[in-house]
Amino acid sequence: MPAPIRDSVTSINKDGSRNFIHPADVRGKFTTVRKFVAALLIAIYIALPWIKIGGNPAVFLDIAARRFHLFGITLSLTDIWYLFFAVTGLGILIFFTTALLGRIWCGWTCPQTVFLDFVFRRIERWLEGDRAARRRLDKTAWADPNKIIRRGAKIIIFFIISALIAHIFLSYFVSLPALYTMMSESPLQHWGSFVFVSVATLIFFFNFYWFREQLCIIICPYGRFQSVLIDDDSLVVGYDAKRGEPRGKPSQTDVGDCVDCHRCVQVCPTGIDIRQGLQIECVSCSACIDACNEIMDKLKRPRGLIRYDSMHALDGNKTRFFRPRIVIYGILMLIGAVVASIALSHYSPASLMVTRMPGDPYTILSGTVQNRFKVRLINKSNQNLTFSAELEGAPAGASIEGFSSLTLAPQEEQVIQMLVGQGKSTYTGSFPFKIVLKSSDGKVVVKDSASFSGPSPEYLQSLP
């Protein structure tokens, strides 16, 4: 395997062919904690569609019904503006944590790293052996029965797990009962979902079987942004060159602590040598820290030749926690959290949208001016709601005609026509107002603005 250099990616050979990276096994406290974090995250991924909050799955993005159930809150399309807080909040949170903790997301919580390192690579090690055995198997001809059995088993198991991940992913959009129904019926009856899950399975399989770390190195936009998101005070995985250099043999006394054993390079899943300095390929997985600590323990030297630290600290300076970007991101997060809390406190379990019906803006019937409105009402709660209607801000004499009450089942959406009229005797011209729908227990009140149109009062009075 070529020695890593900073000018090219280790996973691609000079001729453009793939250099398959087989990281060596590693043990240590960071690897142990990462294992628990990965197990927890995978458990959450599997469990979320099963856990019900308020009668709906904890996370259910019901695109067909245009409802988004998130931890007990149901959002309809009219609530889509809440996404502004989610998207901007997530963006600022990423900026903040990256400026503070570097690529902690990549190495510890990204689904790519979690599934690759703690599911697929573990199965690979179990089937094909350690790094040396896997590299030998790579070079073995496909006619070899041992390779056919081991690689064949790997392909089948990887494909099954990719399909499982894809099915769980689909359940976030269609719900588990609907997924079971789809799986028990012909694919032709649910061809859209079938194509989705098939394509997702193939993409996951391709990624975890072959593409792997190249997703982080070449494709992931977050990885590309690292150089502008972090600074010299961010927490990164770094090599203490002051302490490690010059490299030498364990028996030498006039050299640094690095014995040039290459363990840190062998365990690196992106194939880099962290001793060459911080590189964009480093996903901050901490494998090289554990590997080097193991060597230092054996040599009875202090741990931490490779460690989580800032570039400033590795250069022998003090890390600054409060920097302009940390303060600005922190203030923006605080403002966002306050505004989002205020917005969520106004969340209503029903939503109303009033629009004018197409056609004539008004009609005159027996001396009464009438306007027709389209009223779209959604019950986002999990109980029946019966609504009565009234006008707010309308002049005396204006009224809703031919409407008594409207009952909606849980999650039901209804579109009705509503007639607002005003008699000749009280009519003074066009006016703005609000249509208010109130539940029978008075707990749910939704309103939307509209405007009443009509002729000039003089014209109306002149009519017989």
Q: Binding residues for ligand SF4, per CB under 6 A?
A: 237, 239, 244, 258-264, 267-270, 272, 274-275, 282-288, 291-292, 295, 305-306
Paired with 7 in beta bridges are none
The helix/strand/coil state of 378 is strand
Contact 283, 212 (CB under 8 A): no
Q: How far is CA 133 from the centre of its chain?
A: 37
Q: Which is nearer to ligand SF4, 179 or 264 (CB)?
A: 264
Least Å distance, CB 52 to ligand SF4, is 38
Least Å distance, CB 234 to ligand SF4, is 14
Least Å distance, CB 90 to ligand SF4, is 24
Q: What is the DSSP letter of 97?
A: H
One-letter identity of residue 349:
P
Checking 386-391 for CB contacts under 8 A at 24+ apart, the result is 386/439, 386/440, 387/350, 387/437, 387/438, 387/439, 387/440, 387/444, 388/437, 388/438, 388/440, 389/418, 389/435, 389/436, 389/437, 389/438, 390/436, 390/438, 391/420, 391/433, 391/434, 391/435, 391/436
For Cα atoms 369, 374, 376, give the angle at the middle one, nearest 5 degrees. Answer: 145
Residue-level length of the chain: 464
Q: Which is nearer to ligand SF4, 262 or 376 (CB)?
A: 262
Q: Which is nearer to ligand SF4, 125 or 356 (CB)?
A: 125
Least Å distance, CB 193 to ligand SF4, is 37
Q: Which is nearer to ligand SF4, 208 or 387 (CB)?
A: 208
Least Å distance, CB 228 to ligand SF4, is 19
Q: Which is nearer to ligand SF4, 201 or 286 (CB)?
A: 286
Least Å distance, CB 301 to ligand SF4, is 9
Q: Which is nearer to ligand SF4, 130 or 144 (CB)?
A: 130
Q: How many CB atoms neighbour CB 407 within 10 A? A: 13
